């Protein structure tokens, strides 16, 4: 008897053009939630600003370099905000329409941007660390944008309560 493979659920909004101008909240996870990107110094909250609580590993620093290249690679894409956590990253990407000599240029799709980011980071690291898919949310209001911005800012301080946090240590 032939075993049927599980059907992967499509988590993208059907019929939506993911190259449309707008803001997108992206979460990309490390395969098996392995904490390869760094450590969160939970005791640092008092001593340091929130954005320095995450101590990046060499792999995390390579991933950060790849993240920063997104805005350089794509003329119509703005890396608005990001945080690198031990086993995942959050980003807000803005896709803009830009006029180039009288003709409108379209941004690449979010999928293209994320896949090329993952591919570049993988090449720099030497092996793939990524979960196959990623999560996205189309930011549809100013309030949603502010809430997501704050969530990204606060993520390191709330690491022990994060759904991607694991107390298990792989030996």
Name the residue ranges covered by the structural domains of the chain: 22-161
pLDDT at 93: 96
What pLDDT, in 10s, does the model give residues 84-119?
999 999 999 999 876 555 444 556 889 999 999 999
What pLDDT, in 10s, does the model give residues 39-61?
987 665 544 455 557 899 999 99
Give the number of other Cβ atoms within 10 Å of residue 91's Cβ: 23
Span 22-161 CATH architecture: 2-Layer Sandwich (3.30)
What pLDDT, in 10s, does the model give residues 68-78?
999 888 888 99
Task: Kindly report the average pLDDT of the chain as a whole number.
Answer: 82
pLDDT at 171: 33
Question: Which contacts of 50-57 are long-range, i.e. CB under 8 A and separated by 24 or more positions?
Answer: 50/153, 50/154, 50/156, 50/157, 51/83, 51/153, 51/156, 53/156, 53/157, 53/159, 54/83, 54/84, 54/85, 54/86, 54/156, 56/84
pLDDT at 3: 65
- Rg of the chain on CA atoms, in Å: 17
Lowest-pLDDT range of 34-38, 86-90, 153-157? 153-157
pLDDT at 48: 46
């Amino acid at each position: 008897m032939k075993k049927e493979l599980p059907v992967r659920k499509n988590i993208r909004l059907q019929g939506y053009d993911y190259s449309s101008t707008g803001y997108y909240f992206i979460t990309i996870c490390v395969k098996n939630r392995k904490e390869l990107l760094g450590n969160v110094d939970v005791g640092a909250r008092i001593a340091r600003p929130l954005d320095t609580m995450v101590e990046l590993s060499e792999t995390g620093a390579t991933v950060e370099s790849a993240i920063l290249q997104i805005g350089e690679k794509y003329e119509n894409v703005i890396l608005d905000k990001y945080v690198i956590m031990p086993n995942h990253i959050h980003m807000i990407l803005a896709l803009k329409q830009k006029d180039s000599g009288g003709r409108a240029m379209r941004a690449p799709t979010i999928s293209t941007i994320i896949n090329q980011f993952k591919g570049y980071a993988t090449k720099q690291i030497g092996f793939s660390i990524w979960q196959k898919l990623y999560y996205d949310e189309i930011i549809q209001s100013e309030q949603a944008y502010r809430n997501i911005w704050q969530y990204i800012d606060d993520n390191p301080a709330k690491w022990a309560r994060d759904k991607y946090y694991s107390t298990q240590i792989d030996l």
